[in-house]
Amino acid sequence: MSEETVKPRILAVDDSRVMRKAMTKVLGKDYDVVEAGDGEDAWTILTNDADIQIVFTDLSMPYLDGFGLLQRMRDSEDTRFQDMPVVIITGKDDDDETKEQALNMGASDFITKPFDSVQLKARAKAHIKFEKTSKKLNETSSKLEQQATIDELTGLGGRRYFWKAGEESLSYTRRHSGQFIILRLDIDDFNTIFIANGKQFADKILRQTGAVLAKLVRKEDMVARIGLAKFVMLLRDTDIESATQLGNRLRERINAVDFKTGEYTLNITVSIGMLEPLITDDSNIENLVSETEKYLRKAVEAGGNQVVIKSLRKDYTRTGVDISTALRLIEEGNTEFLQQQILPLTRQIYPLLAFLAGHGESELQEPLKHLQLLLGRYEEIISHADEKQEQAG
């Protein structure tokens, strides 16, 4: 068989031989259907057949059920199994709670028994990612890297992109004593919307949400889709006030989008958690995102459509900008904002200048001593300002 006529390969998993044969009969003309009677058999086939591109699986099966197979695939270190479309075959007795559990575990779609040929073919066509020359040996590593880092549905960065680029940004921030804010956004009640309206409508929501995020993100920031309806942003050198404004702007812009479904219009809401972390040598980006999700959960628990933000930086109440941001603004000639930040910036730089005044080279001792006296005066001003702030509070 030539490359041009190779069929995409589908794995049909069901303990009912009748159901497996029914799927093979409907799909066999356009696809190469491989059958498995339970999850264990399916896993063995998957690990030995690199050409399988989509899995249709029943939930109730002996040895390893559909939930177990799905979890094994999504927990695998092999990215092929993490990303492979898995369509869950549900029975009439399976309720929405069962479907939501499958979605949370990483299911791509559902099809309900008894299904007709049109429905089954439509699901296969929607999910299959068949490439006529999938075994090309001349694909460049850069193209493969791009495919691994871009979320195809939204055009945003993908999970692997964010973990890699986020670690690089964290390393840079740590070296330059900078700061950033992590934003985690979830679409409220997305699983319910998916189950009620289907994958095509759910994908439309995800694409539009991604478009809003892409439009509002700055070029120096990062944005990615890291789960079914889960998005993350890393905001470099952003103060708390600006981050809060962005969070509320995202929430309002997404809520303003009208989605037509049947005879009515749906407007979605989002919940947002934001964290300005205290970066240490032990920090890593995945743990910082997990920490941010604590505040996302607070937003969800408050009823959704909320922004909850937390800063762990001790100085964030005194300054909206740090030293690295100030230097960047000076380089760009954007110093108007810094006029309002002289006092808090002095507080940040005081320990360094005091150290230099006491440990500088001999020829610099005299000017540094004058600088130390000046800094002492500034310290009095800062202390006085703090006392007034506490009395006002």
Model pLDDT, residue 133: 35
Q: Is residue 259 part of a domain?
A: yes
- 113 and 149 part of one domain: no
Model pLDDT, residue 368: 66
- 119 and 147 part of one domain: no
- 295 and 194 part of one domain: yes
Give me the domain span that covers residue 49.
3-127
Q: Which residues contact 198 (CB under 8 A, 6 or more apart)?
A: none
| CATH code: domain of residue 32 | 3.40.50.2300
- 121 and 23 part of one domain: yes
Question: 132-158 in b/e burial notation, b at 16+ Cβ within 10 A?
Answer: eeeeeeeeeeeeeeeeebbbeebebbb
Q: Is residue 320 part of a domain?
A: no
Output the CA–CA distances (angstroms, integers) from residue 5 to 1, 31, 32, 45, 111, in the order listed.
6, 11, 11, 23, 28
- 150 and 292 part of one domain: yes
Q: Are 288 and 277 in contact (CB under 8 A)?
A: yes
In degrees and rounded to multiples of 5, residue 16 shows phi and psi of -90, 115
Model pLDDT, residue 6: 80
| CATH code: domain of residue 249 | 3.30.70.270
pLDDT in tens, 354-392: 666 666 566 666 776 676 666 666 656 655 665 665 565
Model pLDDT, residue 3: 46
Total residues belonging to the chain: 393
Contacts of 45-53 with C-beta under 8 Å, sequence gap 24+, read 45/11, 46/11, 46/73, 46/81, 49/9, 49/11, 50/80, 51/9, 51/134, 52/9, 52/10, 52/11, 52/84, 53/8, 53/9, 53/10, 53/84, 53/85, 53/128, 53/129, 53/130
pLDDT in tens, 273-301: 999 998 888 899 999 999 999 999 999 99
Residues of the chain short of pLDDT 50, as ranges, are 1-3, 130-147, 315-319, 393
Model pLDDT, residue 369: 65
Domains: count for the chain:
3
Model pLDDT, residue 391: 60
